Amino acid sequence: MQTVKTVPELRHAIRVWRLAGESIAFVPTMGNLHEGHLKLVTVARQKADKVVASIFINPTQFGVGEDFATYPRTELEDQDKLNAANTDLLFLPAVPEVYAEDANTVVTVTGLSELYCGASRPGHFNGVATVVCKLFNMVQPDIALFGLKDFQQLTVIRAMVRDLNIPVEIAGVETVREADGLAMSSRNSYLTAEERVTAPKLYEALCAARVAILSGNRSYAEIEQNAWLFLQKFGFQPDYFCVCRSQDLKKAEVDDSDLVLLAAAKLGKTRLIDNLCFSIGNR
Ligand code: PAF
């Protein structure tokens, strides 16, 4: 695996591949890689001739008082994992390589970015959309892969790509879970041993809500309320638990058939998010 730190080096490697007629899949990450990230690389391998991954802890998507300074930095281990997963090139830029000091341009996907995680983390999705747009311009991939775990992020990126006519296919890849159901996340390492035992209850709440809906319950407010109480009982501070339309994340109506259950809750100091996407036979 080749590792490059600057945009000119990245562009050079990409140009060589393009001249040879090769297609490129891109996996953007913030490092601290787990099985979920490696699955993105595995799927990327199946989709294109060359796989580019990036590790960039993007300061603009962290709010004041969030964990930018303490976000796990595990560059050497990450490089080994990407190498073992058969990544062709790692783009590992420093902050000034990505953001000019006097940069004035921000990409905002209005509406979608203010809901759910965007309501609790103002500006977060502007940071995500801006850096992903910039990375797409740097790498110019044919396809880019993102985890379904960050469902709202994926929806924001799909909207940005459509609205700005960015010529890249966006693929969502299934969430990888621990044996007890907890969605893999870099932030799981913040959980204490006791919280780690409780954490899968978030997925359990999502599964129970899905069972209720698949059994014909369409009282979505009641389902959300039950999930909220269940999570509180186990010591979570729920942020949101919503039955939404998977297409645009609007609140689901009884005749919507493609749904996503979106949930976020704090357990101690750790904010966990998860979701379940499924269809019901309404029509
Ligand atoms: O999901 C992530 O790791 C980040 O939000 C992303 C997409 C790499 C942008 O910084």
**CATH of residue 259:** 3.30.1300.10
Is residue 125 packed enough to be buried (19+ CB in 10 Å), middle (13-18) or exposed (0-12)?
buried
- The domain in which residue 23 lies consists of 2-173
Residue 283 has pLDDT above 70, yes or no: no
Position 112 confidence tier, pLDDT thresholds 50, 70, 90: very high
CA distance 37 to 25: 14
Catalytic annotation, residues: 37
Total number of domains constituting the chain: 2
pLDDT at residue 281, as a whole number: 83
Question: What is the average pLDDT value for the chain, to the nearest integer?
Answer: 97
Looking at 152, 173, 194, the residue that finishes a domain is 173
Q: How far is the CA of 232 from the centre of ligand 1 (A)?
A: 29
Angle, helices 35-47 vs 75-84, to 10°: value is: 40
As given in the structure block, the two tokens for residue 53 are: 């991954």
Which residue from 124, 133, 126, 212 is spatially nearest to 170, judged by alpha carbons?
133
In this structure, are residues 97 and 59 in contact, taking their beta carbons and an 8 Å threshold? no
Tokens 């090139």 belong to residue: 89
- Report yes or no on 16 lying in a domain: yes
Looking at 150, 173, 196, the residue that finishes a domain is 173
Report the atom number in ligand 1 closest to the C-alpha of 54. 8
In this structure, are residues 95 and 69 in contact, taking their beta carbons and an 8 Å threshold? no
- Report yes or no on 157 lying in a domain: yes
CA distance 97 to 91: 11
- Report yes or no on 179 lying in a domain: no
Q: Residue 87 is part of a domain; what is its CATH number?
A: 3.40.50.620
User: Ligand 1 pocket: which residues have CB below 6 Å?
Assistant: 28-30, 58, 61, 128, 131-132, 150, 153
Mean pLDDT across 148-155: 98
pLDDT digits (tens, 9 = 90+) for 198-248: 999 999 999 999 999 999 999 999 999 999 999 999 999 999 999 999 999
Report the atom number in ligand 1 closest to the C-alpha of 56. 10
Q: State whether 15 and 153 are in the same domain.
A: yes
Whose CA is closest to atom 5 on ligand 1?
A: 128
Mean pLDDT across 137-162: 98
Report the atom number in ligand 1 closest to the C-alpha of 157. 7
- Report yes or no on 181 lying in a domain: no
Whose CA is closest to atom 2 on ligand 1?
A: 29
Q: State whether 46 and 165 are in the same domain.
A: yes
pLDDT at residue 219, as a whole number: 98
